[in-house]
Amino acid sequence: MTTAVPTSASTDPSLPVDRPAAQQPEWPDRAALDDAVATLGSLPPLVFAGECDDLRDRMAAASVGEAFVLQGGDCAETFVHATADNIRDRIKTVLQMSAVLTYGAGMPVVKMGRMAGQFAKPRSKNTETRDGVTLPAYRGDMVNDFAFTQESRTPDPQRLVHGYHTSASTLNLVRAFTQGGFADLRRVHDWNVGFVSNAANRRYEGLAREIDKAMRFMAACGVDFDAMKTTEFWSAHEALLLDYERPMTRVDSRTGDLYDTSGHFLWVGERTRQIDHAHLDFVSRIRNPIGMKVSDKADPEELLRIIDLLDPEREPGRLTFITRMGHDTIREALPPIIEKVRDSGAIVTWICDPMHGNTFESASGFKTRDFEHVVDEVRGFFEVHQSLGTVPGGLHVELTGNDVTECLGGAERILDADLNKRYESVCDPRLNHQQSLELAFLTAEMLSSR
């Protein structure tokens, strides 16, 4: 485990600095850090507080079964991969999944990217050893570089500023694509027809045909498809690096409230959600919609105390629990947690992350996940909510629009021996484009059969 370290002074005096924070980099040069933090504090916000309020409303709808949330993107974004093609293909994947899920759920899908800020990683070890050489662990491009040299792995606070600029250009393109016509429902549907026409995906043809019929019905009714050329698309990342999130936190001129303007939705990870530490204290002070990862190890009593801290007003949409339990554990571990929360009268939006409880090392030494396990955790999530009469509010997935070989299985039957062909993630294995769409079709089937 990493040790909790005190964190840098905030540009906002209302944010305290005296709580321990786990998983923070050991910046070697304090003056350089202060410099980077001051620069961030002077740069414009990436999102507007009013947008965060709108997203809170969308999350509130998901908490009562009037919308379904899809959060997707890289485990760790990198600076060099923030290219137009990569960003386009990730958005395309999320849009395609959303179209299928909208049909299956019969409700609007709240689309969110693990994008434009997902540059920092918590790690299980502080160091990495290769061939007898031990160096600091890679903690995300906003901290250090993936290359295995002393120089690359030394935390550099200028990377925080670089992360801001890469987030800005990513978000700019996300906004351009989703407002400029790329998201046109007719195009998205055509892409999905292309997906099922591939022999490996024939199993999903029936559902695609149903959607096709629904589209023709809508056209015959005179639905204005031009009005569906744009879509809302929100940015989300783990609020891990307090030296980034604090200077990006600003006072909303309309209300005087604090918002973390680095993204619309921020979540706190499984490794940093200690109730008396800095991360929960930080997010308790901002008005953004907040997520928190919840593993099978979570103590239900503690979760109630966390709800009191983060959502004292019991405001629908404010708090999302992103459960990540493991496919073989979710059916036993999730019910007592949901019951405790439900019986307390608290309203949280429940989202399933079927990735982080299902990671293992393959025989050939790759960190991987099996598509079957991912699907089984999603199935377990729906089963548990169905049996308790609670609302399964969405999915949180690590994915890419590229044809990588990082997760096993799926219709393309990726095997351990295939993982080395195109393993590009610098942290966790992502579903590739095909596997992501398959997951969407299978989830849509689960949603529509309820």
d(CA 343, CA 112): 29
Q: What is the rounded distance in angstroms from the CA atom of residue 22 to the CA atom of residue 271?
A: 7
The answer to whether residue 428 forms part of the interface with ligand E4P (CB under 6 A) is: yes
Question: Token match 């079964």: residue?
Answer: 65
Contact call for residue 449 and ligand E4P (CB under 6 A): no
Question: 43 phi and psi, to 5 degrees?
Answer: -85, 155
- Which contacts qualify for 134-142: CB closer than 8 Å, 24 or more apart? 136/26, 138/426, 138/427, 139/23, 139/25, 140/76, 140/240, 140/241, 140/427, 141/76, 141/77, 141/78, 141/79, 141/166, 142/241, 142/244
293 labeled part of a ligand binding site = yes
Are the beta carbons of 260 and 294 closer than 8 angstroms? no
Please give the residue ranges that form the binding site for Mn ion (CB under 5 A): 75, 428
For position 423 contacting ligand E4P by CB under 6 A, the verdict is no
> Is 52 labelled a binding residue?
no
Residues in 303-362 at the binding interface with ligand E4P, rule: CB under 6 A: 356
When the beta carbons of 131 and 361 are compared against ligand E4P, the nearer one is 361
Strands 290-294 and 265-268: parallel
Q: Is 123 in the site for ligand E4P (CB under 6 A)?
A: yes
Binding site for ligand PEP (CB under 6 A): 75, 122, 238, 269-271, 293, 324, 356, 428
Longest Cα–Cα distance of the chain, Å, equals 68
List the single partner that 124 binds among ligand E4P, Mn ion, ligand PEP, none, CB under 5 to 8 Å by kind. Answer: ligand E4P
User: Shortest approach of ligand E4P to residue 37 CB, angstroms?
Assistant: 24
Q: Tell me which of ligand PEP, Mn ion, ligand E4P, none is bound by residue 260, counting a contact when its beta carbon lies within the kind-specific cut-off of 5 to 8 angstroms.
A: none
Looking at the Cβ atoms of 311 and 428, the one nearer to Mn ion is: 428
Return the number of the residue (123 or 340) whose C-beta is nearest ligand E4P. Answer: 123
By CB under 6 A, residue 14 contacts ligand E4P? no
The residue within the footprint of ligand E4P, chosen from 87, 94, 188, 427 (CB under 6 A), is 427
Q: Do residues 347 and 316 touch, judged by C-beta distance below 8 A?
A: yes
**Contact pick of 122, 157, 263, 380 for ligand E4P (by CB under 6 A):** 122
Q: From the list 81, 121, 279, 396, which residue makes contact with ligand E4P (rule: CB under 6 A)?
A: 121
Q: Is 58 annotated as a binding residue?
A: no
398 is in an annotated binding site: yes
Closest CA to 119 of 92, 82, 70: 82
Tokens of 216: 């023709």
Spatial separation of the C-alpha atoms in residues 447 and 450, rounded to whole Å: 6
Angle (nearest 5°) at CA 30 between 24 and 36: 80
Is 270 marked as a binding-site residue?
Answer: yes
- 428 annotated binding-site participant: yes
The answer to whether the annotation marks 114 as part of a ligand binding site is: yes
Q: Tell me the binding residues.
A: 75, 114, 270-271, 293, 324, 356, 398, 428
Contact positions vs ligand E4P (CB under 6 A): 75, 121-124, 356, 427-428
Q: Tell me the binding residues for Mn(2+).
A: 75, 356, 398, 428
